[in-house]
Amino acid sequence: MKKAADILIDKDLRKTPCRVFVLGEFIRKGNKGISETELENRSKGKFDRVTIYRTLKTFMDADILHKVIDDDNLVKYALCKECEDDHHSHEHVHFKCTSCNTTSCLDEISIVSVDLPKGYKKIEANYLIIGTCPECK
């Protein structure tokens, strides 16, 4: 996995302390989702909510992160694995563990294509499975 500074250089983004911190947290967590509140708590007051929110938005716009919405409508974010400027590949299954409350990307499982009725246009698809993860089993 690349370092935070390398990803920022690849995406032509300025290297700020908040961006390095936030990206480092996602790299450390791997395929697990992290909420804005979790990032704010982990920063121990170094960065305010607005700065973290703007950083997350910048990373989503740069195809570094994607949104993961869990069963409580809590928005979490996770690293994009194979997204490019013209192709986003985060339509995969997400799994929320009821024991440890982590939400993980299951990148190897794609969402099945659904034929929508005439007049409907898909923007994004989400698929969440709720259960117990291997660590809590």
Could you give the domains of the chain? 4-131 (1.10.10.10)
Q: What is the mean pLDDT of the chain?
A: 88
Candidates 85, 86, 64; CA nearest to 6 is 64
For residue 54, the Cα-to-chain-centroid distance in whole angstroms is 15
- Residue-wise pLDDT for 61-86, tens only, equals 998 998 888 888 889 999 987 655 55
Q: For every one of its 137 residues, what pLDDT tens digit does the chain have, with 9 covering 90 and above?
A: 689 989 999 999 999 999 999 999 999 998 899 999 999 999 999 999 999 999 999 999 998 998 888 888 889 999 987 655 554 556 788 899 999 999 998 888 877 888 999 999 988 778 889 999 999 98
Instruction: Give the pTM.
Output: 0.81
